[in-house]
Amino acid sequence: MRIAIVTCARMPEPDEDERPLMDALAAAGVDATLAAWDDPTADWPRYDAAVLRSTWNYHRAPQAFAAWVDAQPRLWNPPSIVRWNAHKRYLLDLERAGIDVTPTALLVKGSDARLADVMRARGWSDVVVKPAVSGGSYATLRVTSTNLGQGEAHLRRVVATEDTLVQAYLPSVEGHGERAIVWIAGELTHAVRKSPRFLDGHEAVDLVPIEPDERAFATRVLAPYVDSILYGRVDVARGPDGRPCLMELELIEPSLFLRRHPPAIDRLVDAIARL
């Protein structure tokens, strides 16, 4: 069986998962090849399955990426999951389903809403503005009263061409930190603490235990999808009440921080080998 480990033609940053995963697949006898989703010469029919891993530029060409996704007969995670997860309106879907999410306002492309008005209406004094289809910290800006003019201009630039999120900034990301909880093939394997990241800045990562309430929360968030997906990542922070709150549900191409927890590499390799 031939497996495509899907990346992109021009990586915006190195993928620390790539080498350990490819080495482990080779050691396990899995015929796996790196292939870029946006490489026009790639021969996709030759692969029996494709596993998304580092398609980190898809937000720059979302329509082309969606068309490529739909053309893949055996894609992991599945196309329906990928399409839903690509636009961060999914946070509002999860909120309606009873999941605590980062307080979020979605402004549709072309909206003339003013950032100051959105903040005033929601009672927010500290927010994050970013595109609704994005990756890493692309076009992500933190805005408070001290840089409201910059934030207003940033919102105008982004919302002119794409749907945009305004989200309450959760101070807990600076202390307890944002926790990225990794799920692979039926099991929560490990978690890391991530530092806040804005406008393509650097992200510091440290391995941490999965707190019991965060484990329960991540399990609940993932429950509707566990029979359909190969991997996932639940990014959480503490809300004002101290309870876990969803920052992101990453089901397309999340870093899985495999080097930080080597047993997770073996679990992912075993799952890929069984595809």
Residues 141 and 199 sit within 8 Å (Cβ to Cβ)? yes
Determine the pLDDT at residue 200: 56
Q: In angstroms, what CA-CA distances link 54 with 110, 202, 213?
A: 30, 17, 29
Q: Give the CA angle between residues 138, 192, 94 to the nearest 5°.
A: 65
Domains and CATH numbers, the chain: 2-86 (3.40.50.20), 104-169 (3.30.1490.20), 172-257 (3.30.470.20)
Determine the pLDDT at residue 195: 80
Q: Tell me the C-alpha distance between 183 and 188, whole Å.
A: 4
Q: Tell me the C-alpha distance between 142 and 144, whole Å.
A: 7
Determine the pLDDT at residue 140: 95
**Residue ranges in the chain modelled with pLDDT below 50:** none
> Which tokens sit at 218?
């991540």
Tens digit of each residue's pLDDT (9 = 90 or more) over 214-243 = 999 999 999 999 999 999 999 999 999 999
Among 181, 158, 199, residue whose Cα is nearest residue 248: 181
Determine the pLDDT at residue 197: 65
Strands of the sheet with 75-76, listed across from one edge: 31-36, 2-7, 49-52, 75-76
Determine the pLDDT at residue 201: 58
Tens digit of each residue's pLDDT (9 = 90 or more) over 126-169 = 999 999 999 888 899 999 999 999 999 999 999 999 999 999 99
Q: In angstroms, what CA-CA distances link 251 with 53, 79, 107, 270?
A: 10, 11, 23, 19
- Whether a cis peptide bond, with omega within 30° of 0, leads into 77 is yes
Residues 108 and 163 sit within 8 Å (Cβ to Cβ)? yes
Residues 233 and 225 sit within 8 Å (Cβ to Cβ)? no
